[in-house]
Amino acid sequence: GRALLVLLLSATVSVLGGLIFGYELGIISGALLQLQTDFHLSCFKQEVLVSAVLIGALLASLAGGILIDRHGRRRAILVSNLVLLVGSLILTLARSFTVLVIGRMTVGFATSVSSMACCIYVSEMVAAHQRGLLVSLYEVGITVGILLSYALNYIFADVDEGWRYMFGLAIAPTVMQFLSILFLPVNPVKLSSWDSDCQKGLIPLQDTEDRVAAKREPYQEKHYSFLDLFRTRDNMRRRTLVGLGLVLFQQFTGQPNVLGYASKIFHSVGFQSNSSAILASVGLGAIKVVATLVAMALADKAGRRVLLMAGCVVMAISVTTISLTSRMAPLAMARDCKAATGPNASHSLTLTPVFPQSAVSPVPPASGAVKSQAGPGFAATRGLRKVFVSTQSKEVVPSFSLSQKRDLVGQSKKGTLGSTGPPLGAAPWAQHKVLNWITLLSMMAFVSAFSIGFGPMTWLVLSEIYPAGIRGRAFAFCNSFNWAGNLLISLSFLDLIDAIGFSWMFLLYGLMGVMAVVFIYLFVPETKGQSLEEIDQQFSRKR
């Protein structure tokens, strides 16, 4: 009975930790639409507000490791829950831009500490043959949290000051996680040696083989300094290489951009109504949840290495396919961020599908301008869709703003962009229906592959390969590179597209995927079915 209780509570802590994390990452996209009008935010202020969470998370990954190692995993999660409650209250009651930024940084700090502590705590609480399943639950929580945030963005879009509710609702799962962990025992690693914990029944889930192995080769917890991560002692340098390689390849295979710009990429390849592009993104979110559940089921059967390598291969093929399809139906991306000073404000990245000159009748810019018919509740995102003449390329480029909702459906049916606009029938995406579907399927394959491989497995391997005495600091060190990589990839996306073009950008991601496969094959060991102590001893012996 007690074993089952520990198992259920560990699972609850893992899922809720992920849920809060995913929710906080996703909720800002909907809240920003209201915040930019309520607080008259400039483009720069919008960027600061979005990246405040990343800055908080980066700070936490630098300082959080010490908290986790010194004061234990359980206490770190409890403290992060309290900090998160404070951050959510600050955001809910915010009256100025500065307070919003402080609130978002606080939330980023708390979720980052919680994410690291949850993975480590759960990996130490359960048996070797259930560890993959329970740590992967964290990733399931993240995907569900992101989907939940999208749903609440939609529900509160028309509510006056709806962003307060969006931020405030994070309090509910935080309180639930806090209560769940109160009933779990203090971290077993912090008590004497591992084998005696088994005898005390604190880890009743460990099977007899693990216990016999522990008795045969008694496990002593060692003490490490942070600099040991870069030394040859117990082969720590190789472990650090494995950890850093996984988190950096996780980012450099393009995942933040493929997901972050999903609706925009859909838009550009021909899913012309905004609602269909947004629906496609939600569909991707649902696929992500299903794929993560598959990874959770396979983690302890197929093994970490197999899932990581299979995921990387599929990701490389998918982004290469997207690269090739975008070469055949060219698309250009342009920045389109306007400061929210009036009702015409919008915050978006505009995708401008390029019409060949032959397909278009030359239209003066003014006569082709069409007013947006955005639905109620999108007052903040109404704008003019302009048809402007590009003098250099001699092409007429209609610019579709992504913030506008539901306004292109009717016009695409009529086949015109206005009374004097060019016929849409001759547009590249109208000719390339097959390419649209290939891109859609490639995107689905990419998301599924990431959610089966890099998504859950990176954090699972990180929570396993380090000795208990330095696990918190090592995890935090790798996590800081993860956040820095995410920030770098997200911020450089548009600049790189300007420099080398969309298709070359995605081809580069494909190349990174191939390099990741080679890296995993050469350096990442298989850890399924082994106790944390056996993994540690295997690393220490193996040069």
Residue 188 is predicted with a pLDDT of: 56
Pull the structure tokens for residue 316: 């490389």
Q: What is the mean pLDDT of the segment spanning 60-64?
A: 88
Between residues 107 and 488, the one the model is more confident about: 107
Amino acid at position 430, single letter: A
Q: What is the mean pLDDT of the segment spanning 359-386?
A: 31
In order of their start, the domains of the chain are: 1-186 (1.20.1250.20), 227-332+431-542 (1.20.1250.20)
Highest mean pLDDT out of 169-178, 363-372, 385-394, 531-540? 169-178
CB distance 166 to 156 below 8 Å: yes
pLDDT in tens, 398-443: 333 333 333 433 333 333 333 333 444 445 555 667 787 788 789 8
Residue 366 half-sphere exposure toward CB, CA atoms < 13 A = 0
Residue 265 is predicted with a pLDDT of: 66
Residue 41 is predicted with a pLDDT of: 87
Residue 87 is predicted with a pLDDT of: 97
CA distance 225 to 229: 8
What SS3 state is found at 45? Answer: helix
Inform me whether the pLDDT recorded for 513 exceeds 90: yes
Residue 200 is predicted with a pLDDT of: 38
Write out the DSSP string of 75-106. Answer: HHHHHHHHHHHHHHHHHHT--SHHHHHHHHHH
Amino acid at position 78, single letter: L
Q: In this prediction, what percent of the chain has a pLDDT beyond 70?
A: 70
DSSP for residue 325 = H
Give the CA distances from residue 444 to residues 216, 224, 291, 483, in Å, rounded to whole numbers and listed in that order.
Answer: 48, 43, 10, 24
Inform me whether the pLDDT recorded for 283 exceeds 70: yes
Residue 331 is predicted with a pLDDT of: 57
Q: Residue 218's CB: how many other CB atoms inside 10 A?
A: 11
Between residues 210 and 485, the one the model is more confident about: 485
Q: What is the mean pLDDT of the segment spanning 431-459?
A: 86
Q: Taking all residues of the chain, what is their mean pLDDT, rounded to a whole number?
A: 75
Between residues 520 and 1, the one the model is more confident about: 520
Q: What is the mean pLDDT of the segment spanning 113-132?
A: 87
Q: What is the 3-state secondary structure (H, E, C) of 223-291?
A: CCCHHHHHCCHHHHHHHHHHHHHHHHHHHHCCHHHHHHCHHHHHHHCCCCCHHHHHHHHHHHHHHHHHH
Residue 434 is predicted with a pLDDT of: 79
Kindly provide the b/e burial profile for residues 381-420, where b requires at least 16 CB atoms within 10 angstroms of the residue's own CB: bbbebbbbeeeeeebbbbbbbbbbbbbbeebbeeeebbee
Residue 263 is predicted with a pLDDT of: 63
Least confident of 22-26, 382-386, 500-504: 382-386
Q: How many helices (H) and strands (E) does the chain have?
A: 22, 6
Inform me whether the pLDDT recorded for 34 exceeds 90: no
Highest mean pLDDT out of 26-30, 98-102, 230-234, 460-464? 98-102
Least confident of 76-80, 129-133, 412-416: 412-416
Least confident of 152-156, 312-316, 365-369: 365-369
pLDDT band at 204 (very low <50, low <70, confident <90, very high): very low
Between residues 269 and 170, the one the model is more confident about: 170
Residue 387 is predicted with a pLDDT of: 28
CA distance 508 to 504: 6
Q: What is the mean pLDDT of the segment spanning 81-89?
A: 96
CB distance 34 to 162 below 8 Å: yes
pLDDT band at 337 (very low <50, low <70, confident <90, very high): low
Residues in the chain: 543
Phi-psi region of 436 (alpha: psi -120 to 50; beta: other; left: phi over 0): alpha
pLDDT band at 357 (very low <50, low <70, confident <90, very high): very low
Between residues 224 and 481, the one the model is more confident about: 481
* Residue 535: partners with Cβ closer than 8 Å, 6 or more residues away: 464, 465, 525, 527
Inform me whether the pLDDT recorded for 453 exceeds 50: yes
Inform me whether the pLDDT recorded for 537 exceeds 70: yes
pLDDT in tens, 237-261: 889 999 999 999 999 998 877 766 6
Whether the full predicted model's pTM is greater than 0.85, yes or no, is no
Between residues 292 and 427, the one the model is more confident about: 292
What SS3 state is found at 213? Answer: helix
Q: What is the mean pLDDT of the segment spanning 494-500?
A: 80
Residue 384 β-bridge partners: 371
Inform me whether the pLDDT recorded for 468 exceeds 50: yes
What SS3 state is found at 217? Answer: coil
